[in-house]
Structure 1
Amino acid sequence: MGSFSIWHWLIVLVVVLLLFGRGKIPELMGDMAKGIKSFKKGMTDDDTPDEVRPVDPRTVEHRPGETVVTPDRNVTKS
């Protein structure tokens, strides 16, 4: 009563084949495999080290005691 017999599984198989057809099931499995492969590739692409990223060329180091020049005035730090 609690388990399915071979006839139940055959009926389920026939219904699935009628709904999807013989050619559609391999296409679906192939698309799923491609999706998994692209997901794995995307996960490994994120593992690049941070040292590869370029440094922002607009960054300027400020040294204490230097004169800072702005467009409207000169400010000297003592």
Structure 2
Amino acid sequence: MTSESTSWESFVARHRIGDRVEVTVTKALPFLGSLIEAPDGVPGLLKGIRLEPGQRVRARIDAIDGEQRRISVVSG
């Protein structure tokens, strides 16, 4: 099992849709929001809000995509 697989498995074992997590913005995307990194290095998208890279925010998990190994989160 790779480190990425271990991190993903660790994340999904502890988190469910609706949980709140602290994420770090990695990149702002025009019109979409911000790319983020969640706990365990899991990538995702913060929908509808463009923030500066490096900002940390508390967000709610909106979707967990097991096939792509990423999440979607919304502010709050």
TM-score (norm 2): 0.20
- Higher radius of gyration, 1 or 2: 1
Bigger fraction of residues in helix: 1
Indicate the structure whose relative CO is greater, using CA pairs within 8 Å and at least 6 residues apart: 2
- TM-score of the aligned structures, taking structure 1 as reference length: 0.20
